[in-house]
Each structure stands twice: as structure tokens, then as C-alpha cells.
């Protein structure tokens, strides 16, 4: 038995209505109401748990979906966990690259300073 539902009115642009209609028949949506319900559920479920948190939506192609499905079957790793681990790895690598570039620049400056001919008028 389905839960009782409430009828509401909604004003949207013609462009949004066309986009809405284009989703009928996908993801199990059989009508405009189904599309709107699915969109509301996806929006609400995708919200962060805390106000200080943020969420990111990542479109996935078939290959990525398939590989993530296999990963879930093999290890129980969810798509969200994989994305979060990937983001942490990206941030770590970006920081390591920044440190390495800074080190290389400092070495180049030190080498340039060492090779500079010292003149007496600039010595104290």
C-alpha cells in the first residue's frame, strides 16, 4: 500500500517543463509527478548532514558505473566512499606537488645567489 500523497501546485518555466518531460521514461519515472518526486528525493538525500558540510554531484559514465559496481561487489566500497577517497588523494597529491615546486624554486634561487659575483660595494 502506498502512502497518501498531497496535491500541490507548481509554477515552472516552459524550458524547465521540457526538461522535466524529457526525463519521463528514465529512472522508472512514468509521469511528470514521478520525475518531480524523484528529483525532490534526490535533492533531499544529497544534502549534507551538517550545515558546515558541502556536497558535490559527479556525473558518471557507464564504464565508471560498471567499475564502481564491481568495486562495491568485491569490497563493499560505495560510490560516495570511493569519491571521498579520490578527493582526499587528489588534495594530498596537490599539496605534495606544491611543496615540491616550492623546494625546487628555493634551490634554484639559492643556486643563483651562490653563482652571483660578489662586488665589494655591496658587501658590508
**Per-residue pLDDT tens digits for 2-36:** 778 888 898 999 999 999 999 999 888 899 999 99
Side-chain half-sphere exposure of 66, counting CA atoms within 13 A: 3
**Per-residue pLDDT tens digits for 57-76:** 888 999 999 999 999 999 99
Q: Which residue has the higher pLDDT, 122 or 99?
A: 99
Kindly tell me if the per-residue pLDDT of 122 is higher than 70. no
> What average pLDDT does the structure give for the chain?
89
The pTM assigned to this predicted structure is 0.53
| pLDDT at position 3 | 79
Amino acid at each position: 500500500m502506498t502512502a497518501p500523497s498531497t496535491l500541490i501546485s507548481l509554477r515552472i518555466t516552459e524550458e524547465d517543463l521540457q526538461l522535466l518531460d524529457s526525463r519521463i521514461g528514465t529512472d522508472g519515472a512514468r509521469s511528470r509527478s514521478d520525475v518531480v518526486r524523484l528529483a525532490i528525493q534526490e535533492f533531499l538525500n544529497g544534502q549534507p548532514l551538517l550545515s558546515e558540510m558541502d556536497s558535490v554531484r559527479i556525473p558518471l559514465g557507464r564504464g565508471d558505473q560498471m567499475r564502481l559496481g564491481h568495486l562495491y561487489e568485491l569490497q563493499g566500497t560505495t560510490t560516495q566512499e570511493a569519491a571521498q577517497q579520490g578527493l582526499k588523494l587528489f588534495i594530498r597529491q596537490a599539496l605534495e606537488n606544491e611543496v615540491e615546486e616550492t623546494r625546487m624554486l628555493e634551490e634554484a634561487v639559492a643556486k643563483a645567489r651562490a653563482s652571483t659575483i660578489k662586488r665589494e660595494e655591496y658587501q658590508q
